[in-house]
Structure 1
Amino acid sequence: MDATHRIACQENLFNPLTSMGMQVSGILVISHFFHLLLKGLGQPGPIAQIFAGLVLGPTGLSNIPLVNRFFYQSTGADFYEIFGLFCRIIFMFLIGLETDIPYVRRNNVVVVTAIAFGGAIIGMIFGLATSAFLHHELEVQGQKTMFVAIIVLLLAYTASPVVIRLAAELKFDTSDIGRLAIISSLIIEMTCLAIFNLVLAIHANKVYKYGIYCVLLDVVIIFINKYLADWFNKRDNNQKYLKNTELFVILSLVIGSAMYVEWASFNSIVSCFAIGLMFPKRGKAARTLIHKLNFSVHNFILPIYFGYIGFQFNGRFLNSWNNVLIVVIMVLLSIGCKISGTLIVCRYLKIPLNKGVLLGFIMNLKGHADLLFIGSSSKILMTWSPRSYNLLLISIVINTIISGPVVALLMRKQENLLGNIHTELEIHDPDKEELRMLACVYGPRPLSAILSLVSALSGSQKAPITPYLMQLIELLPKRRTNVSYHELEADELSDDEDYGGNDALEINEAVDNFTSETKILVRVTKAVSSIATLYEDVCNSAEDLRVSIILLPFHKHQRIDGKMDIGKEGIRTTNQKVLRHAPCSVGIIVSRGIDGVPGFLQLLGSDTVQHMATLFFGGPDDREAIAWSRRIAAHPRVNLTVIRFLPASSSSNVRNSQIDDSSDEDDGMFVKLSRLEKGNDVNEIDNAFLSEFYNRYVTSGQVGYVEKYVNNAAQTAAALKDIGDMYSLFIVGKGGRGNSPLTTGICDWEECPELGTIGDFLASSDFNINGSVLVVQQHRHAKKDALDD
């Protein structure tokens, strides 16, 4: 922290601060121009910001003497160092805060670690092999061991902030390969920084003294933050976010601990990341930090961070073929080591070649920590010349400039490969594959039913689940300007975010309570749009988040007398459009129950076992309903029964087969099912799917199975009325089963076609049942539309 002391002793603080402010402003303005220019070419924001730094730096405008004297004042470097320190503290704390620990745990540790260290180990080997040559060519005198360590770290390092930002810009951060790259980059970055801190500590003989103090301080801050967050979350339930003073207390602890680590001559990046990683992820505290820090980090800190990388590029040192050769060697070594090491690991792990090449270029992205390596070591290696420092720095910048566009190009060519492949649950393995879901609400009324369904779909919670909750807010027409403020209607008023009002407060409070009770972390987002385009926000978010299912609330709600009351018609319009354009399966939940309270809500806060039923008539939507039921059946407080409706004429086939099926009850039921299918010429896909489901779940006793034989729609309606009070939730497919005589004409007219024939019948006011209804529609692939509809 010598820079702080030198700044405090300056007689004139204005000029360095002015030059730094102008430099930051110039980077932001020029990067915005480059972003608009390069966005059409598919290049991400970080590349535009690096180019902005190149234009403003000594290779560009700073070649003008007047600009150079203004930007490169003798005292300016200290201000940049302090400013960079605070930027690193904030965004590394935020990265740790947003890191999904459950996802990291769910991933194969061997795979993630192998990808992380594959290219790094090859880089270390070649770094050791070429360090003697580079030491001689760069004319570095003395401290050869430190120089070798720096070269090895430069070739092994991957900048996780660059990877995270690039993945977010190119929208592959939620894909399997994107999250694999992000986790791997975090592992290798933290490892390199830990080794670097150890090297510094050994050199300064501070391993046992200040090193232990820094570790103990981080542990203390982590525990303090845990109790502070719990205390702040319980205070003042009428507030959506923490107060500024409470936020200041948390950030002060983080910044204070980081500055102590820096004062002890260590690097604080690992410390800040660890504190953010261990910060409690639920409640107002985490939500406030993410909400407040995200805007400043992504709109100011990171653009300056990337711009500063380019600003350090000094092309004047490429004035000889010898210097160019050294830069080319470093760039080729870095790219070659990362790609070759990653490909070796991917071949061993049987990852496709194209994904391996993409991962290799992603892992070659460099960043600000590289500058810290050579910057900190230059203070130790006083014999480092400006030439050696700048040539290594140029190689770092060129690496990122090459890898960033290459990643963007590969992403465009492999867009289909990296798209969402889990668009329906029928092909999911509920015991192994992660379920990503997007639930939508307009207000707090359907939230209990939605969260209860999220809890049910979590199954035994051993299978991975990542739920998102999106509050849909209608963008109101322009406010009236010819009335006083107190004359505005309630829905024209808004809270500090302009949109959401008290509904957002109730939603956040309910989600916090749900997370505290079930330990399922729900990520809350918001969409503000006109009612005509809200469906686009839902479908785009579902595609970006790569979810498998979308949950929507029904536009009606049940009154105390059991009748269904119509809410906003715009909700129904949005549901219909989402059903038509959704990139995955969709479910609409109709909340019904005794006295208007859905019975299956008792999944939350009760040990009562809930009886649920899945109705199967045949078709892709009914198969998808069964697929949803597989996860729900794994919940410890759910007793699920699959009820299959069949033509009554099939019952004679079943009776005739009973004589041959008396040897074993389970095998007999399976044979009866098989013979029944063959005898009635039902859709073969339905038969195969239901047989596999029966063999896996029914014979094991996890799910009940019942067959109901009816001749026509009237008998189907009567059968549904008989079981109307037996179950707290009915799961049924929307349609896609053709003109089945068992369902055609079950109602005089369909009041809500978006629910399908059976769903509309169960949700009608004339059919007063105690169970809620979940209507499921399977993802409509283009090639299946003609067959299914």
Structure 2
Amino acid sequence: MLPPQVVNYVEGDAQHKHNLKGPTYCIETLRDSGGIWHVSSAIEYTHPVFMGQFMITTMAYMMFRFLLKPLRQPKFVCSVLAGIVASPQVMQLAKIFPGNTFPHEEILVVRTIAALGTMYILFLTAVKTDVTVIRRLLKKALFIGFASIIMSAGAIYLLIQQLNLPGMEKGVFSLVFAVGVSLSRFPNVVYAFDELNITTSDLGQLAMSASMLSEIYVWVRMIMEVYLISRSKLLWAVLGALALSLVILGVIGPAIRLIIRKMPEGKLVHELLILSILVGTMVIGFLSDMLGSLPFVVIIFGLVIPNGPPLGSTLTEKTELMVWQILMPMFYTAVGYRIDIASMDMNSFGKVILLMMTGALGRLIGVTLAALCCKMRLRHGVLLGLMLNIRGPFDIFIFQRWVATDDMDVDTFTMLAISQVMIAAVVTPFIDIFYNPHSRLSTSSRKCARSIQKTLSNVEVRILCCIHNQEDVPGVISLLEASNPTIDSPIYAYVVHLKELIGRATPVITPYNKHMKRTRSRESYHIMCAFENYSENSNNLIGVEPYTVIAAYKGMHEYVCRIAQEKFIPLIIIPLQASNEIINASEAIASRDLRENIADYAPCTLGTFVDKGMNRCMGQGPAFSCKVGVLFIGGPHDREALALAIRMLGRPDVSVTVFRFVFPEVDMDTAEVIDKKVDDALIEEFRAKKVDIDKTRIYREVAVRDSEQVISQIGNLKDKFDLIMVGQKRRVRGFFSEETMLDWSENPELGVIGDLVASSDFCGEMTSVLVLKHPGDTTGSYLNISTGEPEGERCLLERTHRR
């Protein structure tokens, strides 16, 4: 290797620079501008230029984001446009800066930071990648991904032979180019899907799995590039990359996993480890770049780091914001420097657009045909083809490397970059408009909503229990025990541990295997052990099927609702933290949004559980004792609470007291008359229920005139029950105006009465609360008045067996 040379050259002396051999440290001398930007050397000029570039790019991005967001344009489009605005051509055209303020040679710092940004994005994407996720979709993803690349690359390669594109190398590079622009890069797809909020959808996960396989073709392409540059160096480049990869896989990876295993549970990752990994990434990037395979070894290094908590999540939290908000804007600034729209030849640009559109159409056709072969619907196949046409920064990154290796000129780069922005500007809004993964959930909810009222008394009752952390476990187990599992009507609990997607790229839902290593998910291990022990000690009255869901809060409800839909579950239980201490305000808001999303799309009843120490009912030994109160005014939501209370009757250690608040009679329309009849029928069922001890079933009617008397009567029940159940809302025309009372509620999702009972002023830390929300149309009734038969019985009997 030749020693570095220090060169001093003036602007425009590019020929002298290109004649140098080996690494070169450039100190550039600028011509005098004669204005306020007068400087004598590039070293003095670097800092103000860099700050100006960063500010202009950031402000331009914010402007484009504000203007184009209503048009559903992605961040990628806004970022490239911002980079173009910060380019010398636009700045000089607008006469904001003199001609030599942003010279082309004065972007060494910008391009260095841009290279760091792309390297760290590749590294973080690899860290967040869980290669086990694609196993479920491996065959389908491999087939679809291969079809998309073959169809697109074949169409582009054949068209290149017919078109005369100046500024592009011919021969083998034509094939390299065709394959390179046909890839659907995994980082592009991941971040675009996160922006579109479709990462948890079926098509989204299939598209991510297919794009993950495209990275294999990237490695093959890099080997071909090394071969084209120097055939004699190919062997040494491959052997060097292989040796570096073996060191990472055999030494660095096991050392990092050993450190994680020995780390005490709950302890934060030491900053020295995070800093060492980030510096190690730069070192590995430097070594692999010398070998001609920059992305390859950096990706290998990212894959050996355990994703998720504690290391993967901490690494992502501390690094991702800096990379995307500080380093990557410089990447788009560097892109803007190379884009010169004024010098484009429109005839050649038309050819490039035709080339890129042909590739996009070939990718769409290939994916659609492959999807049809996999017995997918035509509409889903077309949408999947659009998803794999997502364009992003790593497509432009490929073009930049081709410019650096003189395989294409700057004019061709400009046309290719603009064509990719145009494709992204068209494809992304189409996906956002025509693909709504929530529609299937909402349609299913309306078609066959299940509830406690529709569940027969002699069938297995399925309950989906959402668990956030270990503190939720005792209360949920006590609630299951109070629900009176019997031989004729056992309870089967689907326990879902909800974990936020941090340090991972793809969301997952997996049945929890009790033989899973504790080091992979210690918290899940303790949670599932508790439920399995409870199931084993229940004399086969409680069955448990555990799951682990790792997803972003904004898409987590899709997994929950999908399980409830597929398993025909009539009740979902989700805890609400009783403590008013908010450690993380953003997490509290995300958790509330999750509950609201589940409530909107759940195909069954939703029970929001505020646990304030219900585990006290379990006692010190095998004895269980629980006092349950039900607040009943009327309506479908209150009837759900009463239906669950009826199920609780029958065991002597659980007493149920129903308080029915009776308002003065008024003229009612037909719907209200029917609704009251259904209320009366369910009340009569509760009063007629046979119990061994009369004291375990108590019914009281409380006459009230308005909401103030209701609240006053509820206040008299303070600290008298272990659990109070109530519906989320009710219809009492003129007597109980919930809409105005919700304005001062601390937790509006609990409803007015639920929020009152859950407040610390009412019961402190003594009484737990379960607020139930009826699914679907709240005007629906429990009984069909004309026939007297349970409504929706067909939906319930579709599946009464366990599996």
Asked if TM exceeds 0.5, the reply is yes
Give the secondary structure class of the aligned counterpart of 1:748: strand
Note the alpha carbon deviations across 1:425-472, whole angstroms, 9 max, x for none.
9999xxxxxx9999465x863356669999xxxxxxxx999742479x
Residue 408 (structure 1) aligned to one of 416, 425, 429: 429
**Matching residue of 2:151:** 122
Give the secondary structure class of the aligned counterpart of 1:753: strand
**Matching residue of 1:780:** 775
Alignment of 1:564-643 (within 5 A): 581-584=599-602, 585=604, 586-587=606-607, 591-592=614-615, 596=619
**Aligned AA (2:271):** N
Cα distance between partner residues in 1 of 2:392 and 2:317: 25
Residue 209 (structure 1) aligned to one of 187, 211, 236: 236
- Deviation of 1:98 after TM superposition, in Å, equals 2.1
**Matching residue of 1:748:** 699
Cα distance between partner residues in 1 of 2:248 and 2:650: 62
Give the secondary structure class of the aligned counterpart of 1:720: coil
- Deviation of 1:56 after TM superposition, in Å, equals 2.5
Residue 19 (structure 1) aligned to one of 35, 45, 49: 49
Unaligned 5+ residue runs, structure 2? Answer: 6-21, 29-40, 451-461, 481-492, 502-517, 529-545, 565-571, 580-587, 624-635, 656-677, 689-696, 701-720, 729-756, 758-767, 784-790, 792-803
Alignment of 1:758-773 (within 5 A): none
- The alignment covers a number of residue pairs equal to 573
Give the secondary structure class of the aligned counterpart of 2:63: helix
Cα distance between partner residues in 2 of 1:374 and 1:366: 13
Unaligned 5+ residue runs, structure 1? Answer: 429-434, 455-462, 472-508, 526-537, 558-569, 601-619, 626-643, 646-711, 725-734, 757-762, 764-772
Does the alignment pair 1:104 with 2:121?
no
Give the secondary structure class of the aligned counterpart of 1:316: helix
Residue 575 (structure 2) aligned to one of 553, 567, 570: 553
Report if aligned partners of 1:334, 1:399 keep a CA contact under 8 Å in 2. no
Note the alpha carbon deviations across 1:379-437, whole angstroms, 9 max, x for none.
5447x5x3xx4224423332333333432234224436766469779999xxxxxx999
Give the secondary structure class of the aligned counterpart of 1:281: coil
- Deviation of 1:303 after TM superposition, in Å, equals 5.0
Alignment of 1:512-531 (within 5 A): 513-515=522-524, 523=550
> Relative to structure 2, which stretch is displaced further, 324-333 or 57-66?
57-66
Residue 420 (structure 2) aligned to one of 373, 388, 399: 399
Q: 1:34 to 1:75 in 2, by over 3 A?
A: closer
- Deviation of 1:39 after TM superposition, in Å, equals 2.0
- Deviation of 1:279 after TM superposition, in Å, equals 1.8
**Matching residue of 1:45:** 75
Give the secondary structure class of the aligned counterpart of 1:103: helix
Q: 1:168 to 1:719 in 2, by over 3 A?
A: same
Cα distance between partner residues in 1 of 2:109 and 2:620: 61
**Matching residue of 2:682:** 739
Report if aligned partners of 2:360, 2:389 keep a CA contact under 8 Å in 1. yes
Report if aligned partners of 1:318, 1:324 keep a CA contact under 8 Å in 2. yes
Residue 329 (structure 1) aligned to one of 337, 354, 369: 354
- Deviation of 1:353 after TM superposition, in Å, equals 3.1
Give the secondary structure class of the aligned counterpart of 1:60: helix
- Deviation of 1:311 after TM superposition, in Å, equals 5.5
Give the secondary structure class of the aligned counterpart of 1:752: strand
- Deviation of 1:148 after TM superposition, in Å, equals 1.2
- Deviation of 1:86 after TM superposition, in Å, equals 1.2
Cα distance between partner residues in 1 of 2:386 and 2:83: 22
**Matching residue of 1:719:** 650
**Matching residue of 1:182:** 208
Q: 1:151 to 1:510 in 2, by over 3 A?
A: closer
Residue 314 (structure 1) aligned to one of 316, 340, 345: 340
Alignment of 1:243-392 (within 5 A): 243-268=270-295, 270-305=296-331, 309=335, 312-320=338-346, 322-381=347-406, 384=408, 386=409, 389-392=410-413
Cα distance between partner residues in 2 of 1:291 and 1:451: 34
Note the alpha carbon deviations across 1:190-241, whole angstroms, 9 max, x for none.
13321221112323233432323323323432452443244256446564x3
Cα distance between partner residues in 2 of 1:119 and 1:719: 61
Note the alpha carbon deviations across 1:219-277, whole angstroms, 9 max, x for none.
432452443244256446564x3232221112222222122111112232x33333323
Give the secondary structure class of the aligned counterpart of 1:412: helix
**Matching residue of 2:38:** none
Give the secondary structure class of the aligned counterpart of 1:754: strand
Cα distance between partner residues in 1 of 2:687 and 2:593: 23
Cα distance between partner residues in 2 of 1:721 and 1:576: 37
**Aligned AA (2:121):** F
Give the secondary structure class of the aligned counterpart of 1:446: helix
Note the alpha carbon deviations across 1:296-355, whole angstroms, 9 max, x for none.
2343445554565556432123344x2233222223222222222222222222333333
Give the secondary structure class of the aligned counterpart of 1:445: helix
**Aligned AA (2:423):** I
Report if aligned partners of 1:232, 1:246 keep a CA contact under 8 Å in 2. no
**Matching residue of 1:163:** 189
Cα distance between partner residues in 1 of 2:90 and 2:494: 50
Cα distance between partner residues in 2 of 1:252 and 1:243: 15
RMSD: 5.2
Q: 1:291 to 1:37 in 2, by over 3 A?
A: same
Report if aligned partners of 2:386, 2:431 keep a CA contact under 8 Å in 1. no
Cα distance between partner residues in 1 of 2:182 and 2:554: 40
**Aligned AA (1:125):** G
Cα distance between partner residues in 1 of 2:64 and 2:152: 33
Residue 199 (structure 2) aligned to one of 147, 150, 173: 173
**Aligned AA (1:411):** D
**Matching residue of 1:542:** 557
**Aligned AA (2:300):** A
**Matching residue of 1:479:** none
Cα distance between partner residues in 2 of 1:312 and 1:548: 50
**Matching residue of 1:483:** none
Residue 73 (structure 1) aligned to one of 100, 104, 110: 104
Aligned sequence identity (%): 15
Report if aligned partners of 1:539, 1:578 keep a CA contact under 8 Å in 2. no
Q: 1:169 to 1:86 in 2, by over 3 A?
A: same
**Aligned AA (2:420):** N
**Matching residue of 1:698:** none
- Deviation of 1:5 after TM superposition, in Å, equals 4.7
Cα distance between partner residues in 2 of 1:451 and 1:298: 43
Give the secondary structure class of the aligned counterpart of 1:468: strand
Note the alpha carbon deviations across 1:136-166, whole angstroms, 9 max, x for none.
44165xx633421332124312233332222
Residue 177 (structure 2) aligned to one of 129, 147, 151: 151
Cα distance between partner residues in 1 of 2:608 and 2:317: 30
Give the secondary structure class of the aligned counterpart of 1:364: coil
